[in-house]
Structure 1
Amino acid sequence: MASVVEYKGLKAGYYCGYCESREGKASRGMWAHSMTVQDYQDLIDRGWRRSGKYVYKPVMNQTCCPQYTIRCHPLQFQPSKSHKKVLKKMLKFLAKGEIPKGNCEDEPMDSTMEDAVDGDFALMNKLDIKCDLKTLSSDLKGSIESEEKEKEKSLKKEGSKELIHPQAIEEKLGSGEPSHSIKVHIGPKPGKGADLSKPPCRKAKEMRKERKRLKLMQQDSAGAFEGFQAQGQPVCLLPKAKSNQPKSLEDLIFESLPENASHKLEFTRFLCNSPLEAEHPANGPECGYGSFHQQYWLDGKIIAVGVIDILPYCVSSVYLYYDPDYSFLSLGVYSALREIAFTRQLHEKTSQLSYYYMGFYIHSCPKMRYKGQYRPSDLLCPETYVWVPIEQCLPSLDNSKYCRFNQDPQAEDEGRSKDLDRLRVFHRRSAMPYGVYKNHQEDPSEEAVVLEYANLVGQKCSERMLLFRH
């Protein structure tokens, strides 16, 4: 089995859905008649990405909105406060049917796909994989409500103050927009000022720090007392309560709902049509490698479908489409968290599968920066194709849309094409090395096109994939 691709070359001066430039976008692409999962893994590690059967690579130093490949480290991932809010919002909806007030926008998806998209996403060959989507349990509900009340209390102050409405925070965290606090200014009552007989008002942040410090001191003293009896003989220390530990992503997702839940959410996975050939090696994941539809069913109705590629070293998120009537559930964020958890599950069986690829990170488009919130994560250097932690990349991206992230000026692309003659060509129903094929060609432009293709896909892929030539 070999990948068969047809190189289409440069496509420039067309509409960009990110900045709405009419002629700013530039990319190179190829049509994948078939492709192995290992070839696609190596291609996305060189900045390529598929949209249906069309595989494209932005021309990073020319396109209006440079798109940097981004990957997350699921094994070290800890959900942020905004991620937890999305999971808790889903809990409230499933458990009690609560719908958040206001206009809760979801994070943007990669909906602006390349024009040459196949569009054929028929469901094929249902696998023996059906997983109930277990969500947050009702025992977390009390802690959610008490946490929200505590936050409201800590924000209330006497005199001149600024209140940040909890609902406004919820709406912002559920959107893909940058988090800007919504402030309500409340002035002091006429004729009344500060009461000098009372201690000065203290910031809520300082009060929380002091409470935490006192709590730690109490725990230390209690531990010292329990460690010794009056006669000086040691006794067993009590283990720390697990409730003090932050909940992991699995804790937040895989707990069961109460029996009287208002809604039921189910999760199924299907193999879907794509250029990737399905593979089932003995040492691979149980579901195999390939492209899958992940379907989200709410009370028997499908509300979202995510497309993912399961590859040798990663789960690659292709895109998500969903019923807009349920955008209040922030399904883009929720599905990403589900896919991160799924990557962890696959890693348990297949240790080398340990990354979650989120597609492209577009720093020049503020609404597309949300992918940088899934950390730890790396960006791919567009010149040397090495991974660099996103924290090191952001200062450079603040100054320039296009950046080389590798700080070593002597570093080169180690995977570049080094021997063009070893590139494989498919011509007249036969596979052959380019060194043989070129002896029968008289077109002087032929070698320039093949060389451009070879430099873009790298030496390894050029030797494995078959480049279709007329």
Structure 2
Amino acid sequence: MWAHSMTVQDYQDLVDRGWRRSGKYVYKPVMNQTCCPQYTIRCRSLQFQPSKSQKKVLKKMLKFLAKGEVSKGHCEDEPMEPPLEDAVAGDVAFISKLDVQCDLKKLGDSLKESLEREDKEKGKPVKKEDPKELIQAQERGEWGSGEPSRSVEVRSAPQPGKGADLSKPPCRKAKEIRKERKRLKLMQQNPAGEPTGGQAQRGPKTEPHQPRSLEDLIFESLPENASHKLEFTGFLCTSPLEPENPPNGPDCGYGSFHQQYWLDGKIIAVGVIDILPHCVSSVYLYYDPDYSFLSLGVYSALREIAFTRQLHEKVPQLSYYYMGFYIHSCPKMRYKGHYRPSDLLCPETYVWVPIEQCLPSLENSKYCRFNQDPEAADEGCSKDPDRLRVFHKKAIVPYGVYRRQQRDPSEDAAVRQYASLVGQACAERMLLFRS
């Protein structure tokens, strides 16, 4: 439908029934018929914590602003598939994770059998080794104190395209690598292992490490001689939404806005958003492709989540970040599910369901009803179409009155379908234009 004019509350209610806007064109996918069902997705911004890959994007931007240096060889912009650490925690990598664990177990068994055979040939007593320890020892190039490192031929190999590559050492966690480097550095500085300063002194107990918040990562202070300056501004844009500025609303008011990203006085990106009573809804982003190395799609999404949290401080009921549609059947459109915690809208009952509960069903079927209560129904459905309001010949009349004046019975089906799709509340507030 074409929206000539719309209140922010009406659009909020429509979005919560699966509608979206593109300019003044407002549409709702026919979920059980389309080839690629599009599920409305929202992020719970107050509980959001950036993933490792999202933190890398923020740090890359800060490094670019501070030093003007950043590798341009790899672009992590949307749409993208997440790195392994995010995917394992997400939706589609749990099967491949199991494959890797199974292959590592096979590798450990092969290492153990090979070592036992070697020890028997040399007449040594066989020592039972833990396969996991053997794998880690192989990676370090050592097999215990006092023994030289030994190479073991692993004959088993995975099938092409399945499992881990056994010709390469297993991956190690970055935390373990950092600890190992620190230990080696201390050993080089103090080979004798003697305490410095006469006696080893212990400092005060430190608090457990707390993860840095999204705001800390975005608004980290830059040096005075920073290479670049990034500015963030906003202004109203053309939209069917009528701007509102109530006293208890956000300082910028409700409505549609352009958020501009200015780098050293040059505009490099524009994000289109709608500020609604309960959410910030991301509409679109466009940017200068010369700056795609900064992953502006990811960066702008994180900035908009932080902006939602900022608005929440003034307007407590405004706490969600809507990202449009999540399309699970298209692998390159799954990236929106990596902004956790998130919910998907049930296409039949219009209740929000955590995405983790939805993903197993979506793996089996493109179209799913997420609400598992068989007795649950659409509480906002149209119960009395005659109360729907119609704008006809410069007059506002209930549909029951309008219907009695018309001679075309085919129009009744279209009006009733409209009422069922927008819901009873919007049907009674919005005006359906009829010429």
The one-letter code of the counterpart of 1:442 is R
User: Could you tell me which of 197, 208, 212 is aligned with 2:176?
Assistant: 208
- 1:63-74 to structure 2, matched below 5 A, reads 63-74=34-45
Q: Hey, which bits of structure 1, 4+ residues long, moved more than 4 A?
A: 178-181, 192-196, 198-203, 209-212
Aligned to 2:212: 247
C-alpha RMSD of the superposition:
3.0
Residues 1:354 and 2:315 aligned together: no
Aligned to 1:427: 392
TM (normalized to structure 1)? 0.69
Aligned to 2:305: 340
- 1:24-423 to structure 2, matched below 5 A, reads 30-108=1-79, 197-198=147-148, 204-205=172-173, 208=176, 240-241=206-207, 244-423=209-388
Partner Cα separation in structure 1 for residue 317 and residue 174 of structure 2: 45
TM (normalized to structure 2)? 0.74
Determine which structure has the larger helix proportion and give its number: 2
Partner Cα separation in structure 2 for residue 379 and residue 258 of structure 1: 41
CA contact (8 A) 2:53 2:83 kept: no
Q: 1:423 to 1:345 in 2, by over 3 A?
A: same
Partner Cα separation in structure 1 for residue 365 and residue 321 of structure 2: 26
Find the residue that maps to 1:412 and give its secondary structure.
coil
Partner Cα separation in structure 1 for residue 319 and residue 340 of structure 2: 14
Determine which structure has the larger strand proportion and give its number: 1
Q: 1:427 to 1:352 in 2, by over 3 A?
A: same
Shift of 1:99: 2.5
Find the residue that maps to 2:303 and give its secondary structure.
helix
Partner Cα separation in structure 2 for residue 408 and residue 90 of structure 1: 45
Gaps of 5+ in 1: 1-29, 110-167, 182-191, 216-236
Partner Cα separation in structure 1 for residue 347 and residue 148 of structure 2: 61
Q: 1:48 to 1:207 in 2, by over 3 A?
A: closer
Shift of 1:208: 3.0
Q: State which structure, 1 or 2, has the greater radius of gyration over its C-alpha atoms.
A: 2
Gaps of 5+ in 2: 98-137, 151-168, 184-202
Shift of 1:73: 0.5
Q: 1:206 to 1:456 in 2, by over 3 A?
A: closer
Aligned to 1:4: none
Shift of 1:343: 0.4
Shift of 1:240: 3.6
Aligned to 2:134: none
Find the residue that maps to 2:357 and give its secondary structure.
helix
Q: Cα deviation per residue 1:370-404 (whole Å; 9 max; x = unaligned)?
A: 00000111000001100000000000001111111
Aligned to 1:464: 429
Q: How many residues align?
A: 344
